[in-house]
Structure 1
Amino acid sequence: MECGSCLHGVGLGCLVCLLILALGTLFTSADTLPNEASALVGVASNWQNIPNTWAGEDPCSSHWDGVKCSNSHIISITLSNLGISGILSEEIEGLPELVHLELSYNADLNGPIPHSIGNLVKLQNLILVGCGFSGSIPAELGRLSSLLVLSLNSNHLHGPIPGALGNLSSVHWLDITDNMISGPIPVSDGTNLGLDMLTNCQHFFSHFGKNNLSGPIPPSLFHSEMKLLHVILDNNHLSGSIPTTIGLMRTLEDVRLDGNELSGNVPPNLNNLTRLVDLRLSNNQLTGPLPNLTGIDGLTYLDMSNNSFDESEVPSWFSTSQSLTTIILEYLSISGQIPTSLFVSQLQTVRLRNNRFNGTLDLSGQISSRLSLVDLQHNNIQKINTGNYLQELILVDNPYCEEGESGSKYCTIPQQSSDTMYSTSTPNCRNSLCPLDQDMDSHCSCSCPYRGTIYFLLQYFSDINNSSHYFSLGTSLYHGCLEYQVPVSSVSALNPYMNNDHYLQIDLKFFPDRKVYFDESEVFLISSLFNNRNFTVPPEFGPYYFGGQQYIFQGTVPGSKSKKGPPVIGATVGVIVLLSAIICLLILHKKRKAKEAASRFQFSGLWNLSTSSSSIPQLTGPRIFSLEEIRKCTKNFSEENCIGSGAYGKVYRGVLADGQVVAVKRAQQGSSQGNQEFKTEIEMLSRVHHKNLVSLVGLCIDHNEKIVVYEYVPNGTLRESLSGKSGIRMDWKRRLRVAHGAASGLAYLHELANPPIIHRDIKSNNILLDHRLNAKVSDFGLSRTLFDDAKHHITTQVKGTVGYLDPEYYMTQQLTEKSDVYSFGVLLLELVTARKPIEEGQYVVRQVKDAIDKQKNLLNLDELLDPTIATVSALRGLENFIDLAMKCVEDESRDRPSMSEVVKEIENIMQVADVNSTAESGSTSPPFAGKSGGGLAGTGEDFEYSSDPFSPRTESK
């Protein structure tokens, strides 16, 4: 190509041509030391999407965004939320004066953490939160004797914790939450280093949750010289007993060991921890007596549910705990009458489900004015005295409700409240609309907020629908921004939600003050304030971590940030002229791209998002993604990321810019199928929230695409597990838990969603299993809403999957919630037989009906029973389970139970089988192999049962 011809176009080849000319002459005059400038150029040469200001002659004198200098040395690099992609190269060691390195929330910054970082001996803060780093934690980090903060949470790190980290004598914050770190917790043994040597660290276990740590908790880990405030090792695979040495840690304020495989007795010296505020030991296999907590006067939050403690009477410390706001003791064996004195303290929530409490519940005394929930489902309460208590009281499945009081308001489960937004000031903006990429702040001004989600590992309250908590949080963050001179108009906290890991997550929006967009440096600063714990949160909130979303800066289109390469150090005047020419061409190029982008979100046949039509769904929670963002998070829809396929399209695993792992369902281009299903699924999932329903993250309708983005559910479909394809062993107790979870999700749709929702495609391929084998109902493309004017049914064309279809619905075309009940009955039979509903011409419902012989105790079912779960006689509760399934598949809908009745009966069966309703930790064995390991589904082998969201359905008029 002749370079002179470049002036006639703006093609990539022209730009390259001009860049080659621009690099022709260089000079070396610079304020940054040449070797450090060269090292930073080497690091940046492996990156795309570097800041716009990285085009000057010199990092220090040109004031590159995110770079701070002192005496010609580069001492700090802070580059958050830029969408930087590439690797962090070993050349980083060429910055020997570096004190602060922060590259958080760049999800495509991947590869291993370079070992050479261990040579940066002056480094005090290493913060790599929410990136895509993989490999193991380098042992060389143990050389960083000046290190104060090491935050590696929310990456893809695996392998063991290097014992060399015990050498970090100055560190006070060590965070590896939400990785795949495995192996034992290292302790010193005279030869090797270990974490017991971190005597100055106050938080070094506060962020070790959500990993794969295994083995016992070493007793030598704890000793009286340590200054720990938090010991938080939740959601791992730790086993053995809780070491008695934990009682030596008199400084401890919080202990979270929930979600492990711990066994044995709780150490009796636990009550030596007189400063303890939060204690969570739930979902383990602890035995022996219920711990005596007398003397822990400041205890605020207590959860010891789902363990195997000995049967006991109401403990004496119930009457002396004056600081408790939350007490959760579910699925235990506590009996006796609940003392009135329990309710006199600061209690907000009392959850004592599935115990043996009896007698009279007396709430007539001087109870806490903040008490908002008393949940005593599945106990033996005979009488109640509510006094002046007017808040939620749930007595479902108690003698009180079964002996003449079934009509009482306390004998039904109340509907959950919807998500709410809380701001530093109350918005009252009527008839105002903002552009698609902007939101309205509390002053009724439109601007582009910086978004993220804050996760609280601890919180010292349980009334999460109390707006005062979030108003104070927003106000605190607002004043924190002003203190550090970040120009914000307001901060909004919205959608408070207790996630499956029992972390309180809250979405945040920071609105710029008196302008539409933040500058890059301002976004860097907000991220850095979180990562360096400069934000002070209200005292009712505990330690946290933050996940920021990539920010769309002024003049850019979502997902279209320029792919800038490394900077050039030192340029001649001629180079500057050439670069100016390039900039002009880029401006013309960008204008053309912007013009194309202006019409990107006009998707015919669905919604015109630029209008205010009443047909547009109220998408208050889901994000609108650009196609570029989707391509980036799925590695351009690569086959290695494909985790499922069907007639409708494919499902891909993806990682968003904030580090969130998602499942991306993409319809086939040009397919006439699925427009209405796509629209329906978005509308349904944007307004329902339940732990047993798959969550919607967002959608993409860019360039005529139909893409839905869901939470990633790692253990695939129930069908895959029953078939043995997933490698997960589904024993009887796990199958009961799955049945209970799926039934709970359906009961929510039928009875608590407003208006009620009929799913219409319940099957094993649409039941997903999360990391703890909790069931999540998915695929709402065929769902229908039962509006008030519909009375009891909807007349509609028949849709569903062969084998699960309600015959009454098929014959009459009248759809009711009992059609879901029929499909669920088939699912129950599938759970015990592991057979497809129709296999080799045999229908499982008919097979079971023919095999049942009550006089022989269901022994005729042995031939149909899945051999991996033993024989009929060995399964406690099987007879009741089969009875329930057969009631669900009655020919006439009026003879079938409601889903809430199904949930209750499954809970009764679980009690007979001695099963807790929460999945055991460490329940996946062995891990998935190959591609079909999660997301919305795996892959299927035949027409009717291809995996999940896309399996073909029958349609008849």
Structure 2
Amino acid sequence: MASFGGFLYAAILLLLCIFHVDVVRGQSTHPTEANALNAIKGRLIDPMNNLKNWNRGDPCTSNWAGVTCSKIPSDAYLHVTKLEVFKMNLSGTLAPEVGLLSELNNLNFMWNNLTGNIPKEIGNISTLKLLNLNGNHLSGSIPDEIGYLENLKRLQIDQNKISGPIPKSFANLMSMEHLHMNNNSLSGKIPSELSKMPGLLHLLLDNNDLSGPLPPKLADTRSLKILQADNNNFSGSSIPSAYNSIKTLIKMSLRNCSLQGGIPDLSGLPGLGYLDLSWNQLTGSIPTNRLASNITTIDLSHNFLNGTIPANFSGLPNIQFLSIEANNIHGAVPLAIWSNLTYKGNGSLVLDFQNNSLDTIPDAFEPPKAVVLLLFGNPVCDASNAARAARLCQPTSVNKVPSGPQVSINCVACSTDKNYEYNPSSPIPCICAVPVGVGFRLKSPGISDFRPHKEVFEFNSTSQLGLSIYQLYIEEYIWEAGPRLNMNLKLFPNNTNLFTMSEVMRLRQLLAGWEITLPDVFGPYELLNFTYADEFPTVISSGLSKGALAGILVGTVTAAIAVSVASTVFIMRKRSINRTVSRRSLLSRFFVKVDGVRCFTFEEMARASNAFDDSAEVGQGGYGKVYKGKLADGTAVAIKRAHEDSLQGSMEFCTEIELLSRLHHRNLVSLIGYCDEQCEQMLVYEFMPNGTLRDHLSVISKRPLNFGQRLHIALGAAKGILYLHTEADPPIFHRDVKATNILLDSKFVAKVADFGLSKLAPVPDVEGTLPAHISTIVRGTPGYLDPEYILTHKLTEKSDVYSLGVVLLELLTGMKPIQFGKNIVREVKSAYRSGDIAGILDSRMSSCPPDCATRFLLLALKCCQNETDARPYMAEIVRELDGIRSVLPEEDLFSVNSTITGSSVTLGNSAPDSQAATTRELFNSLQASSSGQAYSGILSGTVSPR
């Protein structure tokens, strides 16, 4: 039985609600806004019934979930000012009636499963300050109308499927500070009009399909701190020298953007702390100008830089990661590069100088323990230096961002009621308390190692949350692709058992409203989840004064004893609710790890596939059958249903889902959800209406692909695999790249699928002790398997390169990897040696420029070299395919674009036999020429892959 104080507290809460309703009696939500909320509810699918109370009462006076209201002066109605329904497993579409919420300042639908377009009517909400739609499945283009929201400070539409250009109307966003549009399919140029936003702090555009030159006008921004545009295609563009005048810039990340030219002088950026220009085509020497002293990360790897390691790399006290891997740097390994390093919080310095031309190690050369120096692939590692450099010359890659350790506490187990647990950070040991769980992610951190900055993060975050440092426990932090830092935080009450509900709501508002400001080095953050063991009502601001509320409280205390019996019932009911919500919170914690992935019931899957009718079957493999389905909201999906022999254990199944949920790229098939019940395991993917690549190479295909289309598909597939190798963290080896696992969407965009055999690449610790391969049983598809992998059982990224090379040969010849006892690699090599390569070209392939097709063939043969080291890296494959595309005749590019935009294209109808004959003649003449003879080195392995 609860104490009298408990009864009194419950009675106060109960009577507060009674008196609150009495005070606002006669006030109600503005009718237009109430109707708008009902229209919004009508377009949503709510499988978890999170919006169940939207079916009763008035929105503002009945505590509708996620709805916050305020009273506007000289208005008899209450108005909706916040609509926050993030992470509620909602699907469906966002109704255009949302534009009728005329007083809204915060619209938050993050981390749901919404589909459809962003309603242009949002542009009518002139009061809007925060628009957060990230982590959904929204598509279509960004409405121009969004660009006229003069009060908008934060726009987050990242991690959707939004396409089209960035509107030039964004020049009107005079209040904009945070513009997050990464991980979509945006195309076209970055508009120079973005420079007109006077308060723009963070511009995140990475992982899109943007092109054209980088706009020099961005240098006109007055406040820009982060420019992040990795994994776009600014082919032919250089880094504007004007960027050296962005005095406020602290992070510039332009990785894998096909940038050319030299590295500009960046000495004019006094606050620059993070520079990533890796995986481009930059040339020249590394500038010797002085860099900012607070820089933590410099990544210039995988370019074509030359010269020596400059002296300005020495004496950087906060440097954590410096990489010039895979360039043409020569000379001596510098001795003083770590001389002024400040070692904090068990931090370390990683110096990755692998695969260059460094030839000298200074005398008395011994890096400190906290420094990891990698020299593999340099002349300095030859036999004469083997004894001195043995430890430094091992082939490896580096996990520059280790995860946080788990901490165990030796205390008697807490009660399971209300999810009690111990606070490992508390100065008073073994106090059982119910923490608030927070999924928290740094979206663009300016560091490579969190450990030296952990205390700063703890101090700043707790001080702004109004907590003591020991009330925050960082349970885990994991670096993800981006790189982004995903953190699981726990906020504990101040040496008591429970937070008050008002305290929980206060913390939630600070985090969900971005009302805390972290130091610039941590970049922007986002809230992934917020869970507590007790339910709490949505906050409603009805415009009541503090004095009025105080009067109500005094009256309530007087009446409290009279309602003790009612309070007992209230407490018993609340305990029941707590037990239900405790179970629900466990599910919420699981979903922190699988953001954006829906959990379907078996019944939903059966309805979607017409009870798995044979007519819905679209494919079959070793895992099981694949069905085309249609979800309740009309979304077309592919349902991959495991047969009984291929069912995995629960942990393995969850691990696969978690792995797939982290992959977001326009050239990878998206995982929408899963089903794991009734002895069934199903994965639900986006549906690819144009089937597999193999379907279109088949002799029975009614619309054979021309060369431009095949090149476009090859480039898309290569980009998807490049993402797995370089952007996924840890990297992923697909292990089953083949034509049937390359799917084509409605616009013939290639998407790599089927990760059932994929393996995480080995990630060594900071000492670099793990090997760069995986020793595993050979798995894959005959005809695509890497010969060296078959012999040694050593799986590397080059195994995927070999498999993709086979796919490239399929695209060029139309042949299958193994057919009638013939192997496609041997057949093509034999035909090349005999001078009859034209004889095995796909005769149905129209618009095939011989010079382009020859480059395509030579690249495929490089990929299919027997020796692993002779094959190119995936980034080099992407560069070469992109280079072939850049010289493709304009009329062939038009035919590719016509297919992509859905226009009707006639393929192979203009005298295909005549066209094929012309192609063969040109090939034969080209192969017989002196330039053609030079290519024969590929078959003997004498041509460098770079």
Quickly say closer, same or farther: Cα 1:257–1:862, change in 2 above 3 A. same
Separation in 2 of the partners of 1:452 and 1:635? Answer: 35
Counterpart residue number, 2:188:
215
**Residue identity matched to 1:332:** N
- TM-score, length basis structure 2: 0.65
Separation in 1 of the partners of 2:760 and 2:259? Answer: 42
Cα pair 1:335 1:357 within 8 Å, conserved: yes
State the number of aligned residues.
777
**Residue identity matched to 1:543:** P
SS in 2 for 1:99: strand
Quickly say closer, same or farther: Cα 1:347–1:105, change in 2 above 3 A. same
Counterpart residue number, 2:377:
397
**Residue identity matched to 2:353:** L
Q: 1:495-894 to 2 correspondence within 5 Å?
A: 495-499=477-481, 502-510=482-490, 513=493, 528-548=509-529, 629-630=600-601, 637-638=608-609, 645-646=620-621, 648-650=623-625, 665-668=640-643, 671=644, 673-675=645-647, 701-707=676-682, 729-730=710-711, 734=715, 737=718, 741=722, 765=740, 778-780=755-757, 816-817=793-794, 828-834=805-811, 841-845=819-823, 848-849=825-826, 852-853=829-830, 857=833, 859-864=835-840, 875-876=854-855, 882=861, 885=864, 887=866
Among all aligned residue pairs of Structure 1 and Structure 2, give the percentage whose two residues are the same amino acid.
25
Separation in 1 of the partners of 2:596 and 2:711? Answer: 37
Quickly say closer, same or farther: Cα 1:635–1:767, change in 2 above 3 A. same
Cα pair 1:793 1:815 within 8 Å, conserved: no
Q: 1:236 aligns with which of 208, 224, 229?
A: 208
Q: 1:461 aligned to 2:447?
A: yes
Separation in 2 of the partners of 1:301 and 1:128? Answer: 31
- Tell which deviates more after alignment, 710-719 or 334-343: 710-719
Separation in 2 of the partners of 1:55 and 1:324? Answer: 54
Quickly say closer, same or farther: Cα 1:769–1:545, change in 2 above 3 A. farther
SS in 1 for 2:92: strand
Q: 2:153 aligns with which of 172, 179, 182?
A: 172
- Tell which deviates more after alignment, 775-784 or 324-333: 775-784
Quickly say closer, same or farther: Cα 1:421–1:784, change in 2 above 3 A. closer
Counterpart residue number, 1:110:
92
**Shift in Å at residue 768 of structure 1?**
8.5
Q: 1:183 aligned to 2:164?
A: yes
Quickly say closer, same or farther: Cα 1:709–1:912, change in 2 above 3 A. closer
Q: 1:101 aligned to 2:52?
A: no
**Shift in Å at residue 53 of structure 1?**
6.9
SS in 1 for 2:476: strand
Counterpart residue number, 2:37:
43
Q: 1:434-449 to 2 correspondence within 5 Å?
A: 442-443=423-424
Quickly say closer, same or farther: Cα 1:625–1:521, change in 2 above 3 A. farther
For 1:460-505, what per-residue CA distance to the aligned partner results, in whole angstroms no more than 9, with x for missing partners? 1112xx435456546655565555x9x9964435242231xx2404
**Residue identity matched to 2:226:** D
Q: 1:154 aligns with which of 129, 135, 138?
A: 135
Counterpart residue number, 1:953:
none
Q: 1:906 aligned to 2:878?
A: no
Q: Point out where structure 2 has 5 or more consecutive residues left out of the alignment.
A: 1-20, 425-429, 537-565, 763-772, 887-892, 903-946
Separation in 1 of the partners of 2:87 and 2:676? Answer: 25
Quickly say closer, same or farther: Cα 1:874–1:238, change in 2 above 3 A. closer
SS in 2 for 1:356: coil
SS in 1 for 2:522: coil
SS in 1 for 2:872: helix
Quickly say closer, same or farther: Cα 1:882–1:298, change in 2 above 3 A. same
Q: 1:201 aligned to 2:179?
A: no
Cα pair 1:715 1:769 within 8 Å, conserved: yes
Quickly say closer, same or farther: Cα 1:234–1:836, change in 2 above 3 A. same
Cα pair 1:454 1:544 within 8 Å, conserved: yes
Separation in 2 of the partners of 1:164 and 1:459? Answer: 31
Cα pair 1:283 1:918 within 8 Å, conserved: no
Separation in 2 of the partners of 1:653 and 1:451? Answer: 38
Counterpart residue number, 1:253:
225
Counterpart residue number, 2:263:
290
Cα pair 1:877 1:909 within 8 Å, conserved: no
**Shift in Å at residue 802 of structure 1?**
5.6
Quickly say closer, same or farther: Cα 1:260–1:793, change in 2 above 3 A. closer
**Residue identity matched to 1:395:** L
**Shift in Å at residue 395 of structure 1?**
2.4
Cα pair 2:72 2:78 within 8 Å, conserved: no
Quickly say closer, same or farther: Cα 1:167–1:726, change in 2 above 3 A. farther
**Residue identity matched to 1:43:** L
Q: 2:357 aligns with which of 345, 359, 380?
A: 380
Counterpart residue number, 1:559:
none
Counterpart residue number, 1:558:
none
**Residue identity matched to 2:444:** L
Quickly say closer, same or farther: Cα 1:552–1:241, change in 2 above 3 A. same
**Shift in Å at residue 257 of structure 1?**
3.1
Separation in 1 of the partners of 2:305 and 2:854? Answer: 26
Counterpart residue number, 1:80:
none
Quickly say closer, same or farther: Cα 1:141–1:805, change in 2 above 3 A. closer
Quickly say closer, same or farther: Cα 1:722–1:532, change in 2 above 3 A. farther
Counterpart residue number, 1:343:
314
Quickly say closer, same or farther: Cα 1:387–1:520, change in 2 above 3 A. same
For 1:723-763, what per-residue CA distance to the aligned partner results, in whole angstroms no more than 9, with x for missing partners? 79999744698499579859969x999xx99xxx9x99775
**Residue identity matched to 1:33:** Q
Quickly say closer, same or farther: Cα 1:428–1:208, change in 2 above 3 A. same
SS in 2 for 1:302: strand
- Tell which deviates more after alignment, 352-361 or 239-248: 239-248
Cα pair 1:32 1:74 within 8 Å, conserved: no
Higher helix share: 2
Q: 1:328 aligned to 2:307?
A: no
Quickly say closer, same or farther: Cα 1:537–1:419, change in 2 above 3 A. same
- TM-score, length basis structure 1: 0.64
**Shift in Å at residue 413 of structure 1?**
0.2
SS in 1 for 2:351: strand
**Shift in Å at residue 358 of structure 1?**
0.5
Separation in 2 of the partners of 1:729 and 1:547? Answer: 40
Cα pair 2:711 2:881 within 8 Å, conserved: no
Cα pair 2:862 2:871 within 8 Å, conserved: no
**Shift in Å at residue 542 of structure 1?**
0.7
For 1:520-567, what per-residue CA distance to the aligned partner results, in whole angstroms no more than 9, with x for missing partners? 988776554333102333542111333338888789xxxxxxxxxxxx
**Shift in Å at residue 379 of structure 1?**
1.6
**Residue identity matched to 2:284:** S
Separation in 2 of the partners of 1:414 and 1:491? Answer: 31
For 1:765-786, what per-residue CA distance to the aligned partner results, in whole angstroms no more than 9, with x for missing partners? 568999997978821399999x
Separation in 2 of the partners of 1:182 and 1:809? Answer: 39
Higher relative contact order (CA 8 A, sep 6+): 1
Separation in 2 of the partners of 1:161 and 1:352? Answer: 38
Q: Point out where structure 1 has 5 or more consecutive residues left out of the alignment.
A: 1-26, 76-93, 188-193, 556-579, 602-618, 786-791, 888-896, 930-957
Separation in 2 of the partners of 1:478 and 1:74? Answer: 39
**Shift in Å at residue 272 of structure 1?**
1.7
Counterpart residue number, 1:420:
403
Separation in 1 of the partners of 2:392 and 2:414? Answer: 41
Quickly say closer, same or farther: Cα 1:279–1:128, change in 2 above 3 A. same
**Residue identity matched to 1:199:** M
SS in 2 for 1:299: coil
Quickly say closer, same or farther: Cα 1:775–1:799, change in 2 above 3 A. closer
**Residue identity matched to 1:397:** G
Separation in 2 of the partners of 1:326 and 1:97? Answer: 48
Quickly say closer, same or farther: Cα 1:775–1:550, change in 2 above 3 A. farther
For 1:550-591, what per-residue CA distance to the aligned partner results, in whole angstroms no more than 9, with x for missing partners? 888789xxxxxxxxxxxxxxxxxxxxxxxx9xx99xx9xx99
